[in-house]
Amino acid sequence: MGQTEDLNPNGTLFGGTLLRWIDEEAVIYAIVQLGNPKVVTKFISEINFVNSAKQGIF
């Protein structure tokens, strides 16, 4: 769950924070699937931010 330091002055989530979370989850998935902890992110093709993620909205 995000903290206030993950939000910009408008109270919305920083896009870079969301990308970091996506990358972390992808690494966990890859490690579990491959059974090898030595993985790195090589390429993310496209991220399209359509709406803002606001504090307290689920």
CB-count burial class (<10 Å; 0-12, 13-18, 19+) for 19: middle
Q: What is the residue-wise DSSP string for 22-49?
A: HHHHHHHHHHHHHT-S------------
Tokens matching residue 29: 């998935």
For residue 3 the two structure tokens come to 């903290």
User: Mind listing the pLDDT tens digit for each residue in 13-54?
Assistant: 999 999 999 999 999 999 999 999 999 888 888 888 888 888
> Over 90: is that where the pLDDT of 57 sits?
no
DSSP designation for 20: H
pLDDT value at residue 51: 86
Tell me the whole-structure pTM to 2 decimals. Answer: 0.74
